[in-house]
Amino acid sequence: MTGFDDSHPEASPFHAGEIAAQERVGVAERVAAFASQAVRPYLTDQLREFFAALPLVFVGHVDAHGRPWASVLTGPAGFIASPDSATLMIGARPVPGDPLVEGLVVGAQLGLVGMGMGNRRRNRVNGRVTAVGLSGVTLTVAQAFGNCPQYIRPRDADATVPHGRQSETPPTAERLVGLDDAARALISRSETFFVASYRGGGDPAARSDSADVSHRGGKAGFVRVDGDVLTVPDFAGNLHFNTLGNFLVDARAGLLFVDWESGAALMLTGFVEIVWDGPEVDAFRGAERLWRFTAEAGVRLPAAVAPGWRAGDPSPNVALTGDWDKAAATLAAEALRRDWRPFRVARVVDESSVIRSFHLKPLDDGGLPQTKAGQHLTIRVPAGPDGAAVVRSFTLSSAPSDAGWRISVKREDAPAGAVSRWLHHVLRPGDVIEARGPSGAFTIDTAERRPAVFLAAGVGATPMIAMAREIANEGRRTRHTRALTAIHVGRTSAERPFADDFRRLEAETGGRIRYVSALTRPAPGDAFDVEGRIDADLLRRLLPLDDYDFLLCGPPAFMQLLYATLRGLGVRDARIFAEAFGPAALARTSETSAARAAPPAEAEAATVAFSESGVEARWTAGDPPLLDLAERLGLEPEFGCRAGACGACAAPLRSGAVTYRTPPSAEIADSDVLLCCAVPAAGSGRVEIGR
């Protein structure tokens, strides 16, 4: 960070690198709105008391060669004093061998982070050394600000061991060129480290310009070690991007790992590469990006802090993060996303009188591919005549962070409900079914600031509970809980699913998730909020005037009616999202429909060949899509939704061209087509499908 003039509150405390990082992730304007209040050019009385009570403080500095180092200074409580709001006096010197010994000179720029080891409080100070003595240094403060304690594990010191240097002749420091086995072992079991950075821009002469030090934490082993390269998942923080902003200006960094039991420390300096996105970022739960650190030099200090620190309970935020083993399992599962995998039914739960949930775990105990709340799962079960395999898709009611998958299925008595009846009457815990990776575009952006409204009927509550749980989970992780009003209509409370779950989420989020239960045929004693259906009057009554995203899920007539209602209330088509299965696709009226590119025209006639089956037929204008043609020819291609949403019917297009009557939302290979909504395109000639 850089200093700023408090008399000009519009001046930013952030330098160009920090602002560039903020802009990259889309938070620059939001951070600028509170920056001058969050970062002060002086110490508040609270911060002065905080630092005076610490037994240790972590320090970032830059040596004469332009290399950052992270260090630690220790002493009894009170070894740090603040005679005024602009000054910190630190009554300690680095242990011999610490590069900070040579770095404590008048004019040196230091970054400090103080951590309340027992209560997880964390505060930072940047400043310049103005005096150096035998017993310590004096620092003039340039910036002071609080820092998020999300991933700090509290620790208690051994009361029998005094803080500060333990011997007049401490053990000799050991210089390292790269990482040895002992260093790799310490890093691999660490759940916290400290990182020093600065904005020198590659110029050693700029080393006194600015220095920072910060904390990183996660589960034990969250830092992956590959030779001399460390890979660090970067979790949600305070959005300042002090460290990553420095990396954008100067890619050098210093890392400090402490062995809290022995008191030893490992100090490293090297170069950083930021990985903003990619498969590994997606696979590591909670990671918003990664950075890779290549160690060039290091120092091992046998006695950097007092030994015997006892670890307390992990931060609850750490539970919302992953580990490298699970990330590797996720990447392996991602490669199998389109394959049929066996899943064991771990649990069966009745959510209502007509809806039953099936909890699924991989039979091989492997990982699960990436999932988004609202997506559906395509399963294959022996529910056809004589046990023939049948493929169907059901929306996941589990959250992406869950260890397994859950589908919640309504029992349908109509002939089309053969699979749902089989699931309800036949499938039991311990049974095995097959499933492919989830798909579908009916999802929600939990980071969006615009409030959302979910309107659901009956079993349409399944994506609603998945999205609500994901919003709550992400709210705990990122400290932003997207506002969601979930309105569900059912006939009676006996048929209503997930009501207790929604009420718990409502309480946990302090009302950011709001649940409204509407019943059309309430029985005596039923608990509900509204009697009747969802209509314009109810929406006007429940929703303050605002700009919302509306999500719809339920029977086709329900969604079409509510779509028309919302459009009549002035809601833009682009703000209305709906789950589409079978005939459930909305007939939309779009403000931009005239400007949209029309899909290729359909052919007047074409020959369609299914090459692997050795059959072909003539298709003429007005005929159903290719899936229907295949079934008419006696083929049994897989399908789930018949609406281009699940991707189960994807097949290779060997020759010719197709167009889509219903724009598909499923993600498929460029060389594939979705049979359920594809028809021959004009001028395509012979269409050959690899089935």
Q: Print the SS3 string covering 447-484.
A: CCCCCEEEEEEHHHHHHHHHHHHHHHHHHHHHCCCCCE
Q: Are 610 and 507 contained in the same domain?
A: no
What is the C-alpha separation between 524 and 529, in angstroms, rounded?
14
Q: Are 121 and 147 contained in the same domain?
A: yes
What is the C-alpha separation between 679 and 608, in angstroms, rounded?
10
Q: What's residue 228's pLDDT?
A: 98
Residue 551: closest CA among 480, 491, 476, 462: 462
Final residue belonging to a domain, choices 435, 460, 477: 435
Q: What's residue 643's pLDDT?
A: 77
Task: Specify if 213 maps to a domain.
Answer: yes
What is the C-alpha separation between 34 and 449, in angstroms, rounded?
17
Task: Specify if 9 maps to a domain.
Answer: no
Final residue belonging to a domain, choices 435, 464, 493: 435
Q: Are 663 and 588 contained in the same domain?
A: no
Task: Specify if 330 maps to a domain.
Answer: no
Task: Specify if 187 maps to a domain.
Answer: yes
Task: Specify if 456 maps to a domain.
Answer: yes
DSSP characters over 372-415: -TT-EEEEEES-SGGG--EEEEEEB-S-TTSSSEEEEEE---SG
Q: Are 28 and 147 contained in the same domain?
A: yes
φ, ψ for residue 553, nearest 5 deg: -155, 125
Q: What's residue 209's pLDDT?
A: 53
What is the CATH classification number for the domain harbouring 502?
A: 3.40.50.80
Those residues with Cβ within 8 angstroms of residue 626's Cβ, 6 or more apart along the chain or in another chain? 608, 619, 658, 673, 675, 678, 679, 687, 689
Q: Which two tokens stand for residue 65?
A: 């060669």
Q: Are 304 and 402 contained in the same domain?
A: no
Q: What's residue 691's pLDDT?
A: 79
Domain count within the chain: 4
Q: pLDDT by residue (tens digit) across 588-635? A: 886 654 445 668 899 999 999 999 889 999 999 999 999 999 999 989
Q: Are 213 and 357 contained in the same domain?
A: no
Q: Are 626 and 580 contained in the same domain?
A: no
What is the CATH classification number for the domain harbouring 262?
A: 2.30.110.10
Task: Specify if 506 maps to a domain.
Answer: yes
Residues in the chain: 691
Q: Are 406 and 510 contained in the same domain?
A: no
Q: Are 529 and 621 contained in the same domain?
A: no
Q: What's residue 6's pLDDT?
A: 39
Task: Specify if 168 maps to a domain.
Answer: no
Residue 414 is part of which domain span?
336-435
Low-confidence ranges of the chain (pLDDT < 70): 1-11, 36, 159-170, 201-209, 581-585, 590-598
> Which residue reads 């002060």 in tokens?
40
Final residue belonging to a domain, choices 595, 626, 646: 595
Q: Are 611 and 591 contained in the same domain?
A: no
Q: Are 347 and 375 contained in the same domain?
A: yes
Task: Specify if 656 maps to a domain.
Answer: yes
> Which residue reads 């590659």 in tokens?
202
Q: pLDDT by residue (tens digit) across 628-676? A: 999 999 898 888 778 787 788 899 999 999 999 877 877 788 899 999 9
Q: What's residue 1's pLDDT?
A: 59
Residue 389: closest CA among 375, 376, 377, 378: 378
Q: Are 545 and 613 contained in the same domain?
A: no
